[in-house]
């Protein structure tokens, strides 16, 4: 309908212009006739002159008529051109087209009216949120398209030539690591012909040792431990310090009061998480956290978030007899005393007498009065005393979970260090089990923890204890953390190993940690075929080492 109206209007305008042209011609001719009559009546004496003038005027009229006729022709041509253009713009259609146009216009108008009505019902803030959501969706869509474009246009990783021994800059090494990980993530698609996966892995290990300053042995262990998608995240997280955390001493204050006091001193802090009621994380401070009046008064102690987990898993009860076998510098032992509310007896032992002095200083400052501090070899502690309700063993380890605190681990650790720690940890755990009272009415629990992420120091040690003593794994009571390994490469552990918990810096934003909780059921010692089992385990370890070397080759 609109199209027809436009055509009619355009045609009407053309007709109007033709009528105007005709009226102009008639007016000019009438004026010429009147001029002739007036000239004849005025003066008969100048007939010749008037005749000449009339001839001239006739010539001028002819010229004007020619011009007008030319103008008429041009106007007609223009009108015909306009009509042709209009015909091109507005082509003939059918009734179905008109129905479709009406339906589309009605739908668009109804949609617009519905949106207007919806917007009218909304509050201003709701309208703004609606606009913001649309904007966010649009940005996300553009980001996805851009990412897909980058993936499609990215160049395929080219494996370096064997003769190429040029030293690359650190940014170039990082770029090659990223590209190599991309190839390994989809090996069939991005691989080069005649190149095996082992070659790409060897190049990746070489680049990682250069970029992160690790030795080849430790990088090889981490590549075996983590999927390639998580490997870079773990290594990068181990390069940065974890947030500074403190633990409130519940013997002297509450966390709320401590937080208010520190905030008043210019400290920016927050609770560590819902899993603890005594932890605070410090973001920044205008004063030294280790020298505030609250610290000197014993209202809190500097302690990592992961160090609170073993005590929570141990779950000490009041009036119990508890042993912390490797207690220095006293962070976990003081936490146990605070949970026990200074009741019962706490034995804080450490083989190093110099480190044991730190336990004395912290206990005095924190107001702990139910403890006995001693310095015995943990491997022979059962000869000194037995019958503990609960035992905490935070065993010495290689420290692969706290590389951010001790970067020397990246270059100093090798197979001998792991083997030495593994043997020491087995001996300490067996002694901790022997010191526990299986008939305790409230306890009979042993918690084993390390600050290492290697299975040799964690699952292997627990599996050894399960074979040698009448103990079983029980839930740790911790709500978060990844399950322990029930299998690692060619090794198979007890199925209950999934009850243990692992913590990583790149997933939990705390130091790498391992926590396992054991329940002792009897004092039976499984010593049958002890020597044969040890020889068999040593042979298995040698075989696994050889197989790992062969796989790396």
Q: Among all residues, which ones are annotated catalytic?
A: 451
User: Tokens representing 309?
Assistant: 């987990």
**CA 340 – CA 443 distance, rounded (Å):** 13
Question: Which residue in the block uniquely carries the two structure tokens 């627990």?
Answer: 462
- Residue 310 marked in a binding site: no
β-bridge pairing 445-450 and 513-525: antiparallel
- Residue 387 marked in a binding site: no
- Residue 51 marked in a binding site: no
CA 166 to chain centre: 35
- Residue 4 marked in a binding site: no
- Residue 435 marked in a binding site: no
- Residue 127 marked in a binding site: no
User: Tokens representing 300?
Assistant: 């809190």
Q: By C-alpha distance, which of 425, 349, 421 is closest to 391?
A: 349
Q: What is the DSSP string of 137-199?
A: HHHHHHHHHHHHHHHHHPPPPPPPPTT--PPPPHHHHHHHHHHHHHHHHTHHHHPPTT--HHH
Calculate the alpha carbon distances from 342 to 256, 321, 365 in Å.
21, 12, 14
- Residue 378 marked in a binding site: no
- Cβ atoms of 314 and 445 closer than 8 Å: yes
Peptide bond just before 329 cis, omega within 30 deg:
yes
User: Tokens representing 184?
Assistant: 């390994």
**CA 231 – CA 204 distance, rounded (Å):** 11
End-to-end CA distance of the chain, in Å?
82
- Residue 270 marked in a binding site: no
Measure the CA angle with vertex 313, ends 309 and 316; round to 5°.
Answer: 115
Q: By C-alpha distance, which of 237, 364, 362, 372 is closest to 303?
A: 362
**CA 511 – CA 212 distance, rounded (Å):** 18
DSSP 8-state secondary structure symbol assigned to residue 238: T
- Residue 331 marked in a binding site: yes
Calculate the alpha carbon distances from 476 to 309, 380, 448 in Å.
9, 27, 11
- Residue 89 marked in a binding site: no
**CA 130 – CA 95 distance, rounded (Å):** 40
Q: By C-alpha distance, which of 396, 445, 442 is closest to 420?
A: 396
* Binding-site residue set: 326-332, 350, 377, 394
* Binding-site residue set for S-adenosyl-L-methionine: 326-332, 350, 377, 394
């Amino acid at each position: 309908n609109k199209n027809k109206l436009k055509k009619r209007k355009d045609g009407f305008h053309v007709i109007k212009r033709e009528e105007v042209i005709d009226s102009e011609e008639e007016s000019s001719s009438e004026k010429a006739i009147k001029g002739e009559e007036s000239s004849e009546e005025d003066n008969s004496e100048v007939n010749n002159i008037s005749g000449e003038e009339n001839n001239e005027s006739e010539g001028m009229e002819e010229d004007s008529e020619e011009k007008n006729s030319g103008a008429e022709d041009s106007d007609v041509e223009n009108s015909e051109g306009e009509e042709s253009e209009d015909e091109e713009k507005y082509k003939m259609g059918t009734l179905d087209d008109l129905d479709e146009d009406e339906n589309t216009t009605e739908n668009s108008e109804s949609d617009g009216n519905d949106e207007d009505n919806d917007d009218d019902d909304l509050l201003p803030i709701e309208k703004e949120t609606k606009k913001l959501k649309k904007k966010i969706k649009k940005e996300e869509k553009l980001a996805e398209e851009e990412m897909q474009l980058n993936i499609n246009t990215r160049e395929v990783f080219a494996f370096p030539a064997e003769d190429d021994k040029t030293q690359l800059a650190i940014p170039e090494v990082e770029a090659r690591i990223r590209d190599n990980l991309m190839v390994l993530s989809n090996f069939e698609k991005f691989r080069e012909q005649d190149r095996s996966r082992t070659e790409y892995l060897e190049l990746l290990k070489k680049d990682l040792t250069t970029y992160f300053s690790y030795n080849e042995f430790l990088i090889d262990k981490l590549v075996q431990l983590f999927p390639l998608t998580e490997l870079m995240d773990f290594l990068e997280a181990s390069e940065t310090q974890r947030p500074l955390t403190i633990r409130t001493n519940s013997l002297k204050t509450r966390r709320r009061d401590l937080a208010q006091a520190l905030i008043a001193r210019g400290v920016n802090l927050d609770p560590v998480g819902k899993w603890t009621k005594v932890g605070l994380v410090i973001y920044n401070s205008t004063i030294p956290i280790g020298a505030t009046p609250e610290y000197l008064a014993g209202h809190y102690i500097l302690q990592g978030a992961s160090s609170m987990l073993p005590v929570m898993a141990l779950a000490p009860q009041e009036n119990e007899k508890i042993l912390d076998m490797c207690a220095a510098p006293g962070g976990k032992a003081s936490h146990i005393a605070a949970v026990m509310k200074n009741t019962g007896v706490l034995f804080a032992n450490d083989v190093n007498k110099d480190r044991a002095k730190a336990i004395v200083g912290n206990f005095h400052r924190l107001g702990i009065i139910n403890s006995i501090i001693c310095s015995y070899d943990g491997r022979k502690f059962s000869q000194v005393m037995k019958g503990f309700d609960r035992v905490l063993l935070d065993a010495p380890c290689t420290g692969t979970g706290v590389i951010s605190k001790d970067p020397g681990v990246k270059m100093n650790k090798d197979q001998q260090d792991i083997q030495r720690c593994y043997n020491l940890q087995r001996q300490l755990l067996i002694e901790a089990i022997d010191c526990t009272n299986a008939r305790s009415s409230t306890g009979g629990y042993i918690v084993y923890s390390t600050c290492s992420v290697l299975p040799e120091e964690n699952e292997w040690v627990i599996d050894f204890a399960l074979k040698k003593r009448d103990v079983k794994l029980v839930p740790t009571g911790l709500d978060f953390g990844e399950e322990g390994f029930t299998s690692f490469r060619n090794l198979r552990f007890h199925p209950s190993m999934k009850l243990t918990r692992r913590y990583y810096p790149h997933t939990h934003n705390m130091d790498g940690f391992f926590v396992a909780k054991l329940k002792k059921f009897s004092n039976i010692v499984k010593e049958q075929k002890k020597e044969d089992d040890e020889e068999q385990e040593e042979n298995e370890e040698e075989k696994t080492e050889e197989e790992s070397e062969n796989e790396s080759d």
